[in-house]
Amino acid sequence: FVTCNLQKEINHKEGDVRDGAKLKAYFEEVQPDFAFHLAAQPLVLLSYDDPVGTFDTNLMGTVNFWEAVRATSSVKAAVNVTTDKCYDNKEWVWGYRENDPMGGKDPYSASKGCSELITSSYLESFFKLEGTCNIASARAGNVIGGGDWALDRIIPDYFRAVKAEVKMEVRNPYATRPWQHVLEPLSGYLNLGAELYTKGKDFSGGWNFGPEDTTNYSVKQLIDEMLLIDDKGGYEIPDNATKPHEAVLLKLDISKAVNYLKWKPVLTFKETVAFTLKGYGNDEVGKALNQEGIAVRTGHHCAQPILRRMGVETTVRPSLAFYNTCEDVDRLIAVVSRLSSGKH
């Protein structure tokens, strides 16, 4: 989005999804036909530092989104995008289906399970009865792709480590994830939105979008595949590392999307990794890392718990993004972490 300068090519407005009145007013102004809800606090580890902000954004942000949709008669199809982590993870070897129970041990996963329950409640309590808009939820696997600079994510951490000339520390090397290039689920969301718009309520409910069942790979396998393509970096697995809980086994069953939406992933695991690394050219890496200083000056409300923990005093601004990707937060935390560890 930033590299393509798309904010100047489209009708782009930023705000905070927790401000329901402003969000509703923007819907009224734009009068959209489709609405996709992707705003979130999207990081597991950050949710341990700021559980209140995580639940506030991911729960009330969802409520505010559906209230804005209900109040805007032009909207005929709407999709809430959550995550594969919304399911009650039993650490079993088969993929979760759309009718499996919601859950989540960490605050982020629990907040996304709650977001799904909120969506289901609005579907049953309002949208089915009012009949003015068809709604659904989409649950994607672990997406990767150029332009992602979030903290505590494998590929951004790899390039940050390469830039700092250090080895990347890997928290959960044997955890498996449904890795997929970001364009794969996006194609599914658009397909789902189109079916909701043209064919109606038959496509309401939850939908999984992920790789084929045979292409779940571990974190270590992902990094090893990256190193076959880009051998500039390295990694280390710390002994007896103390870390918050994260799921080990996680798979999605995409049979519903394959059979009813006629959607399926097109990239193999190797193609996904290669395509992703092409999105991290030298110019983009340098630009993103150089902008970290800007994030330190601007600050962000979600960064306060981390800053306090590190003993850093700063003035932070409120969130101003309906698209709330926490990009500034990630850059801010990366800089503070590096400075606090003496890595400049």
Domain-located, residue 21: yes
DSSP assigned state of 168: E
Alpha helices in 36-81 (DSSP H): 44-49, 51-55, 61-70
Output Rg (C-alpha) for the chain, integer angstroms: 20
**Phi, psi for residue 179 in degrees, rounded to 5:** -65, 140
Domain-located, residue 6: no
Domain-located, residue 341: no
Domain-located, residue 1: no
**Phi, psi for residue 318 in degrees, rounded to 5:** -70, 160
- The predicted-structure confidence for 283-294, as pLDDT tens digits, reads as follows 566 555 555 433
Domain range for 284: 13-333
Please state, for a pLDDT cut of 70, what percent of the chain lies above it.
Answer: 80
Nearest to 156 by CA among 6, 333, 310, 316: 333
- Domains in the chain: how many in total? 1
Domain-located, residue 342: no
- The predicted-structure confidence for 64-123, as pLDDT tens digits, reads as follows 999 999 999 999 999 999 999 999 999 888 899 999 999 999 999 999 999 999 999 999
Which CATH number fits the domain that encloses residue 243? 3.40.50.720
- The predicted-structure confidence for 192-210, as pLDDT tens digits, reads as follows 999 999 998 899 999 999 9
| Residue partners of 51: CB distance under 8 A and separation at least 6 | 107
- The predicted-structure confidence for 126-144, as pLDDT tens digits, reads as follows 999 999 999 999 999 899 9
Domain-located, residue 56: yes
Confidence of residue 7 (pLDDT cuts 50, 70, 90): confident
Q: What would the mean pLDDT of 240-247 be, rounded to a whole number?
A: 66
Q: Is 196 left (phi over 0), alpha (psi -120 to 50) or beta?
A: alpha
Domain-located, residue 4: no
Domain-located, residue 7: no
